[in-house]
Structures are given as structure tokens and as C-alpha cells.
Structure 1
Amino acid sequence: MKQLHKQSSLAYRRDEEQLSSGDHASSYSPKALKHHRSIPRSINYIFKEQRLLFILLGILIGSTFFIIQPNLSTFTPSDAGSAASLPKSVSLFDREALPSRKTYPRSTAGMMMQQQRNGRIPVGIGRKRMRIVVTGGAGFVGSHLVDKLIARGDDVIVIDNFFTGRKDNVMHHFGNPRFEMIRHDVVEPILLEVDQIYHLACPASPVHYKYNPVKTIKTNVMGTLNMLGLAKRIGAKFLLTSTSEVYGDPLEHPQKETYWGNVNPIGVRSCYDEGKRTAETLAMDYHRGAGVEVRIARIFNTYGPRMCLDDGRVVSNFVAQAIRKQPLTVYGDGKQTRSFQYVADLVDGLMALMEGEHVGPFNLGNPGEFTMLELAEVVKETIDPSATIEYKENTADDPHKRKPDISKAKDLLNWEPKISLREGLPRMVSDFQNRILNEDEGKGQK
């Protein structure tokens, strides 16, 4: 049986080998040579699966690029010829002012690139636009500061609770995309993203800060803490508007920044005087302890348009009384002195301080010194020579002398006031006359 099985297996293998060799011989043939596609097959390939559409689309895109590409250059050869014919003192940017050719506005970035290629950048274009918050920005000084910042090209956010500020002071900026107003009390925290903080919020006249002395001290302390905390969180530069009242009734005349003052800490004016001294302390502690970049300005008597009509300050009192045909009220013997700076000079000083590299404090005031009687005579000459003077008992803790030493501001900030009292007073008088005679604000005081 085993022998039969072996023979059958050998026979099966022999037959399988013969079959496979026969199949291989019959199926083998040399590889056919490839033939080039004929023209009809190529056309059929182009039309197949929308290939023609993609080819035409590519041709269209390429043609469009080569048509538009010459217009992408900054100026054409004709422009170059006209630029070459201009005087060397006239840049390509200045050509827009020439009447000989029609021009169209270009983006700021494009103008900067063009001027860089020419090696010139006009003044102001390379400056970064700042985002600035002004607390108390609807007030007397704050509104003039806002005007100057907006005119410079910055974005300004005004924070004001309108205790002494007025919407009328900043109404001319309504609708400006670079201006924003927030009704808010700085005693409560607020979170904003800004580059600079001008902290002016606080009632600054005796009538207003004596009205609610607790609120005044809270504004000076809590309000300053909140704004310093904001400056610390967002890395903003912080400017505090302090006051010459930190010197109290000075034993030094004129007052330098190194003078520590003579202040009554429990008097009727201490809510403002000591409040500002505390605010300065907070600013310096945030600067030393937390690295906040701070600036401190000590502001002396300031006057100008937009002052509150009846804020108790001597200049506004005299002007309003003279316009209303009332006696000019002089407290005490009228021999106490003050120094008066026009508001535009103060705004220039605040901006110079903020943009400078020095912390301060800096006295910002006009060294021109006047007694109250001398001021009354100037007001009479300007408004009504027939006005009379009425004497009243002096208020408590009223300083006898006030005159700033501004040598530090001159040396380090290159700042000094330019507008004299006799030059600036008529501008204030014109504003007061319009408001007292034509608006509701002054009707109740006639």
C-alpha cells in the first residue's frame, strides 16, 4: 500500500510540473511598447472631470495679478518725475497739499512706510497713540486737559461723578470716537486698560470740600488707593494732582518742594489739606514698594474758563460778583497773597510732568504774587471800575502767603507759565459773562 501511495504521489507531482511549465510557456509574451497619446485622447483628458475649468481659472488669476501688480508700487514713474521736480524741502507726503494734482487720503501706516523709504518721518506720525484716563475729567482743570490730549491724538476716557464737574465742559467731544465718558465715583474700584492715569478727582474749593468733609477725605484716600491699584495691575503711569495746600500756612516763603508744611491736622480745611498729603504718601509708597511709575504735581491757584461760578475761590468770586454788580468780598484785611496761573499753563505743566522722567513733587504755579486787594483792583479794571469792595471776617486756617518756587520745574521739566493775570483774566471774564447772563447756571445768583 505504501509503495502504491508513493507512486501515485510521484505521478501527481510530475503531472503538476508539466502543467505549470506548459501554462508559463503559453502565457509569456514580450512587454508591449507604450504609444504616445493621440490628439483626440488629449482633448478628451482636458474635458474630463472639469479640468478645462481649472485651467481657465488659473489663467484668469495670473492675468489679474500681472495687470494689478504695477499699481501696487508706491508711486508710478510719472509720480517719481513730479517728485523730482519738487524742491528738496517738500517731502512726498507734502505733495497732498499742492493744488496741481488730485490726491486721495492714504492710511497712516502707508504714509509712515513711504516716509521711511525717503528717510523722513513727519513730526507726530511716529508717536504711539495713548489710551488715557482722566479722573475728574469733566471738571474745570480736567476738561482743559482732555481738550489738549484729544488734540494731540490720544484716546481719552473721562471718569467723573459730576459733583463739581459738568457735562457741558466736555460736551463738544460727544460723538468723537476717541472720547469716552463714564459716570463713576473713584471711591469705588474700576477696571480699565489704559497707558496713563491723570488722577484729578477731588473737590478743590472750600465751598465744595467743606460741604461733605468725610466724602472729601474718602475721595483723597480711597479714590487714590483705587487708581493706584489700577495702575499697578495694568502697568500704567500715574499722575497725582496734589495741591499747594499741603504747605498749610507756610513759615517759608516762597515755598519749595523740600518744605514739609505747616498744616492743622484737625482744622476745617484738613479734609482737603491732609487728604492730599495722604494721597502723596500713598503714591510714593506704591512707587517704592510696588514699582508703580508715579508723578506728583502740587498745583497753585489756577483760574480760567469753565470754573464753577460760585466755588468760593477768590478769582471766581470776584469775577462773578463784578458781573452781577455785587460788591467784591474781601476776607480779613485783604493783605494775604496768592499766585494765579492760567489753566492752559497748568495743563502744559501736567503733560510735561507725565511725559518726563522725574517723579516729583513739582510746584506748578505762577510766581507772580498779588494781595487780595490788588486782585480786586485788576478785576475792577477788567469788568467794572465802579465796583465796590466789602470786607468780611477771614475764614479759619486761611494761609497768609502763597507763592511757588518753580525753579525745579524750570530745570527738570523745561516748564514755566507764559500767560499773565492781566492777559488771562479777560478770557475768563468772557466765559463767565456768557454763562451768568445767558444760561440757567447763574440765574439763581443774580
Structure 2
Amino acid sequence: MKIACVGGGPAGLYFSILAKLSNPQHDVTIHERNPPGVTYGWGVVFWDDLLRDLYRNDPVSARQIDAEAARWDTQEVHLRGQTATRIGAYGFSLGRDRLLDILTRRAKGLGVGIRYQCDVQDLSALADADLIVACDGVNSRLRQQHDSHFQPRVEEGKNKYIWLGTNKVFDAFTFAFAETSAGWLWFHAYRFNTETSTCIVECQQATWDALGFGLMGPDETLRKLEDIFKRQLVGHSLFNQLRGLGKAPWLHFKRITNERWYHDKVVIMGDAAHTTHFSIGSGTKLAMQDAIALARQLREHAHLPTALQAYDEERRAALVAIQLAARSSSEWFENVPTYIDQEATPFAHALLNRRGSSVWSYLLLLASQRPSLRGVLRGLHASRRWVRSQQRESKNGQARVT
């Protein structure tokens, strides 16, 4: 089969790897509009379920991702000089550039062709492909060419946000809130290597307007935010990827759904098919799970339309619950002023359990505030991580390495 992937992000790269592992005779080419090594974004987060899936499908790249990922077992909420801590909500993070490098090397090693600076704007350029995988992002041109078939729905969030990096290394997944005369701003931050953290700053539109961010260039924006969050950054810097050029890239989150995920020989995946709010950290996970599902359906069904239909049904069904959770999470952050007039611990409980809470989650949070119990909780969760790591290795130790 001749396969063309439009977009060289995690979805396209991982699907190309799995397609070649399924059948080395597949002719797979990725068409990426950026030059080699150019990507946007800082660190990506993922959880145990994705790591398990990666080990099951390609232990070679999974071991590299596992070995290089940063880990945390703590979440912190900073509010009015107080810090509330929760032990046990562990996850992983990795620089987007490093993730793409691992996947690119693996894909090339399996014989996948990658064409850089190849901006596919029309399907006619790929007329000879048997299958076209459109993983070209939120503003997918290929999806837009067939809107009547995919029937996308795009909803814009109310808040403003900006995706930044910082040389402040946050060992815990951190939510920090700062009050200004114009209202509240907050950030979501997590380290993804030993030197750098992702820092996503968010605020309500009215606050953004009143602080004048719409009139500021990127450098002025960074200095303003560094001043607002000086307590949390403790003298460290924020930076973006514009290098002083253009306006600071503040955005409104776009929530994307599609009624159908394929048309003829074109199939969509990743952000082209769906988005989930960054506050639940699942974008990369879902994109790679799309790739896994499509590769599996192509293995199980020799008839291409049947495989694409099965993929469509499987992934749209799998996304329902998590998209509802993401909507709930984004709406919580759109209403931060409603919840913020509390002490740090009850506010942290509302934030960390914004998708649904239980008495046990509150008891765990209360226990995490006691220094005498933090070590015990951390040890218990470290043991659980170790057991899961051993299970991944034992289940996949005999997996075929290509």
C-alpha cells in the first residue's frame, strides 16, 4: 500500500512506524511543511496508559521515550502565598522536539520517507496514494477541503492563553495563581528536562484586555508576566519561540470535533480530528492512540473502506468521555473567580478534582498536607510505579524488535 501522511507530528510519525512494522512492504511517506528540527511548543505530558500502549506496539521507541521522560509524583497549587500539595498524581513529560526526534529516527530506520518543507495544500498532489492520513493540525487544510464530509465543529474558548517556556524547573506539576488590579492570571507548569519547564499562562478575556496585552510585543509581554509571577518564578525567566519577532501568540483554545473521520481514501487523526483542552494534558496521548487504532484496523481489515469505518467508530466512541471531561475542565478555568475566594487547600481540592471528586480524594489531599505523611505516600506511589514499570517490561520483553 502506498501511504501518504500529511504532517510530521507525533500522530503521523507514530502511525508511519506502526504501518511499516505491520508490513515492511508498505510505501510510507511523511510530508512535513517545516524544515527538519523545527517544531513549536515546549514539553508534552502523558500518563501511564500511553506508555503501556507504546510498549505494546513498539518497544524500541517506547524504551527511549520512557528513559528520557521527566517524571513527577506531586501536584502543587499556589494561592496567596500558600501552597497545597497532593502526592500521588504522577505523570511523565518530554520535550516535544525530543519526542519528534526519537520518532523520526525510528521511522527513518524502518524505511519511512520524510519530505521536509513540503506544504501539501491540495489532495491532487497525492493522487497516486492509496491512503492519505491528514494529521496536519488544528487548522488542517485537508480537512477543510472536505468540510461537507467530515462536518467539523469548532468552538472557541473564552479565556486567553499563551504557551511559554521557563528556566524555572518545576519538580511538581504546578498551578500558580496571581492577582492583579485587573483580575487573576494563572499558569500550568511542569518540567520536561533538567533545565526547562513548560509554562502555560491563562486569564479571562477582560483581564487580558485591561492589562493591555493586545498592544504589547513578545518581549514586553514576557517582562510583564515575569513581574506578575515574580513570587512563583523566583527570579527565573519566561521565553517564547518568536525571538522578538511578531506579536506575542496569545490564543483562544479551539475545541474541535468531527462527525466523520474519513472520506474516500482520506482519514484524519490527532488535532485535525479532535482537540481536548490543555488543562487535562491529553493531546499527544490521544494523537498517538489514534495512530495505534488506525494501524491496527488496517492490519485486521484488508478492505480499506472497512478499516477506515472501523477506525472512525472506535476512536469517536473512545473520545466521548474524555472530551466531556476536557470541556468540564476548561469551563472550570473559565470561571476561576467563582472558586478562588477560598483558602489554598479547599481551592486546590476544587481545582484538582474539577472533573469529579470523592471523599477519598479529599482525604488524600488532606493527608498530603502533613509532612510526616508525605514520605509514606510518596513511597507507596513509587512502589506502584515500579510494579507497573516491571509489568510493562515483562509483557513486552519478548516482543519482536525490528
Common topology (TM > 0.5): no
Q: Which has the higher strand share?
A: 2
Higher relative contact order (CA 8 A, sep 6+): 2
Larger Rg: 1
Report the TM range for the smaller structure's normalisation: under 0.3
